[in-house]
């Protein structure tokens, strides 16, 4: 009786082991080469060139020195080449003795040339198809002439480029107005969404004068630093244009949830600094005589953080004046940016088409969706209404120094 049941249990285990399609990719962690940042380029001969930042581990068994100590580099930069992405991966197998591990990848860079000319579709296909590569890494277009310069930049407190970007993007997502951090999942989602075009984050290694030398470090001070400003406008999987810092604000105000981003509003000659929070705008669409009309109703909450002007933010009258100034400021910014995108890039990154699709008849959308970006979005009449509210004037009321003794 016991033997019979034991047999049944053993048989069940063997059947489970044999038939269930588990992950057979057993891998000891010590044999892994962890890539945390990859730069994708295409050479003039049409060959993919992938530059990877691999975590360098010194191989000590001292559990205390987990960070690897001060001396020595914490990451290795390696370059691999191949006619396709997967053949480039094959190239890694003969150049690195460890197995490449992509699941902890933090960031994917594309050269501007690659993004503009070939698009990133083939590379994305590889990411989505591969079982190890996942959807968390952020996507960036590198503005530099020589994209590998980003690996040379000063990273502030971080040790590795991948981690640096991961931390900045993770923590600053909702407090930055001038850019937005797009991860692979967001990109893929927007790419597949009807009536919307994706955007991509932009990074540039810019020369800096403030090259501080860290005490105790032997290395030469780095001459460049990373700047995250603006956005890349995509059309499909190809880059069609870059937005400046000010233009990117329009995108973040209309598409992101901002909580307490610092910005300033010009008031005459002077400025008033505010912390800004938004709520997703109400977008109303209509269709008349072959033209699309789009009404944007944006609500903003402002909290005064600095007041250079003579207005007294404790007074209702002054608050109303300031609110009006803010409304006009943001309305103008938004209108001019949208107009520029309509005129130059013809790519609906704001997802107006999605709202149109939802609000209008399905047949109508079906009939115009092919031409949405190039014709209907580009020629749409867009009206913007901004409703700002100053909800908090900070810890004090009048401008500092006013009514002093």
Partner 1 sequence: MNEQTQAVAEAKPKKIASSAARFEKQIEEVLGKSFDVVIYRFKTVLEEAVIIYIDGMVNKDLVDRDIIKPLKLQDFNGDVNLTFKIPFIKADTFDKVLTSILDGNAVVYYNKSVYSMDVKMFEKRGVETPPGEEVNRGPKEGFTENIGTNMSMLRRKLKTTNLIFEKIVIGKQSNTVIVLTYLDNIVNRDVLDQVREKLKKINTDAILETGYLEQYLEEKPFSLFSGIGLSQKPDVVAMRLLNGKVAIMCDGTPHVLTIPELFIETIHTSEEYYSRTIQANITRFLKILALALSILTPGVAVAIITFHQEMLPFTFLITLIQATQGTPLTEASELFFLAIMFELLKEAGLRMPKIIGASITIVGGLVLGETAMRAGIVGAPSVIFVAIASVASLAVTNLNEFGIVYRFIFLFLGSIMGILGISVGIVIMLTQLVSTEAFGIPILATFNKEEVKDSFIRYPLKEIEFRPSTVVKYNLRRSRLKNEKGESIL
- Within 8 A by CB and 6+ apart from 312, the residues are 318, 397, 398, 399, 402
Closest to partner 1 by CB, 102 vs 230, is 102
Considering the complex, what minimum distance in angstroms separates the CB of residue 96 from partner 1?
Answer: 14
User: What tokens were used for 10?
Assistant: 């053993």
Could you tell me which of 223, 198, 200, 199 has the C-alpha nearest to residue 213?
223
Instruction: Out of 35, 36, 143, 326, name the contact with partner 1 by CB under 8 A.
Output: 36
Enter the DSSP assignment of 375: I
Q: Which is nearer to partner 1, 58 or 70 (CB)?
A: 58
Q: Is 398 left (phi over 0), alpha (psi -120 to 50) or beta?
A: beta
Q: Which stretch binds partner 1 (CB under 8 A): 102-110, 140-148, 150-158, 392-400?
A: 102-110
Q: Is 172 helix (H, G, I), strand (E, B) or coil?
A: helix
Read off the DSSP letter of residue 323: H
Interacting span for partner 1 (CB under 8 A) from 18-26, 88-96, 275-283, 337-345: 18-26
Window contacting partner 1 (CB under 8 A); options: 88-96, 103-111, 217-225, 248-256: 103-111
d(C-alpha 221, C-alpha 229), whole Å: 23
Among 19, 25, 289, 403, binds partner 1 (CB under 8 A): 25
**Strand 75-82 vs strand 48-55: parallel, antiparallel, or unpaired?**
antiparallel
Residue 157 interacts with partner 1 (CB under 8 A): yes or no: no
| CA dist., res. 180 & res. 199, Å (int) | 9
| Closer residue to partner 1, CB minimum distance, 160 or 235 | 160
Which one of the spans 54-62, 84-92, 204-212, 225-233 is the region binding partner 1 (CB under 8 A)? Answer: 54-62
Task: For partner 1, give the closer residue by CB, 47 or 74.
Answer: 74
Q: Identify the residue whose tokens are 């120094």.
A: 401
In the complex, the smallest distance separating the C-beta of residue 103 from partner 1, rounded to whole angstroms, is 3
Among 8, 10, 14, 16, binds partner 1 (CB under 8 A): 16
Using a CB cutoff of 8 Å and minimum separation of 24, what contacts does 315-319 make? 319/390
What tokens appear for 66 in the block? 């987990």
Identify which range of 50-58, 121-129, 229-237, 320-328 contacts partner 1 by CB under 8 A: 50-58
**Binding residue for partner 1 (CB under 8 A) from 57, 76, 155, 193?**
57
CA distance 396 to 393: 7
Please work out the total of residues on this chain that contact partner 1, with binding judged by CB under 8 A. 35
Q: What are the Cα distances from residue 80, in Å, to 53, 74, 93, 370? A: 11, 20, 10, 39
With CB under 8 A as the contact rule, the residue among 104, 175, 208, 244 that binds partner 1 is 104
Kindly list the residues in this chain that would bind partner 1 in the complex (CB under 8 A): 2, 9, 13, 16-17, 20, 22-23, 25-30, 32, 34, 36, 55, 57-61, 63, 65-66, 68, 101, 103-104, 106, 132, 134, 163, 166
């Amino acid at each position: 009786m016991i033997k019979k049941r034991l047999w049944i249990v053993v048989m069940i285990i063997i059947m489970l082991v044999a038939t269930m399609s588990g992950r057979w990719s057993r891998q000891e962690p010590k044999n892994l080469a962890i890539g945390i940042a990859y730069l994708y380029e295409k050479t003039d001969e049409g060959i993919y060139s992938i530059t990877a930042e691999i975590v360098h581990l010194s191989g000590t068994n001292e559990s205390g020195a987990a960070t690897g100590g001060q001396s020595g580099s914490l990451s290795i930069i390696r370059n691999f080449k191949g006619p396709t992405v997967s053949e480039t991966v094959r190239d890694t197998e003969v150049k690195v003795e460890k197995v490449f591990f992509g699941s902890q990848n933090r960031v994917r860079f594309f050269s501007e040339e690659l993004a503009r000319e070939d698009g990133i579709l083939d590379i994305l296909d590889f990411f989505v198809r591969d079982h190890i590569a996942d959807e968390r890494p952020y996507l960036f277009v590198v503005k530099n002439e020589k994209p590998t310069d980003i690996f040379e930049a000063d990273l502030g407190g971080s040790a590795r480029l991948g981690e640096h970007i991961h931390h900045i993007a993770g923590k600053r997502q909702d407090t930055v107005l001038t850019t937005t951090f797009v991860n692979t999942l967001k990109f893929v989602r927007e790419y597949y969404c009807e009536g919307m075009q994706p955007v991509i984050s932009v990074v540039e290694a810019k020369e800096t004068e403030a090259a501080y030398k860290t005490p105790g470090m032997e290395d030469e001070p780095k001459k460049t630093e990373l700047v995250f400003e603006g956005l890349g406008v995509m059309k499909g999987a190809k880059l069609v244009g870059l937005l400046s810092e000010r233009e990117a604000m329009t995108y973040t105000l209309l598409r992101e949830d901002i909580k307490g981003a610092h910005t300033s509003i010009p008031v005459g000659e002077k400025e008033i600094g505010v912390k800004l929070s938004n709520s997703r705008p109400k977008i109303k669409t209509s269709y008349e005589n072959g033209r699309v009309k789009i009404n944007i109703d944006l609500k903003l909450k402002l909290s005064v953080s600095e007041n250079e002007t003579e207005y007294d933010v404790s007074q209702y009258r002054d608050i109303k004046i300031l609110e009006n100034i803010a409304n006009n400021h943001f309305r103008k910014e938004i209108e001019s940016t949208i107009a520029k995108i309509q005129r130059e890039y013809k790519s609906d990154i704001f997802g107006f088409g999605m709202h149109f699709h939802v609000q209008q008849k399905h047949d109508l959308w079906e009939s115009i969706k092919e031409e949405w970006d190039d014709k209907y979005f580009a020629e749409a009449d867009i009206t913007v209404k901004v409703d700002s509210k100053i909800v908090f004037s900070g810890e004090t009321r009048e401008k500092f120094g006013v009514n002093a003794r």
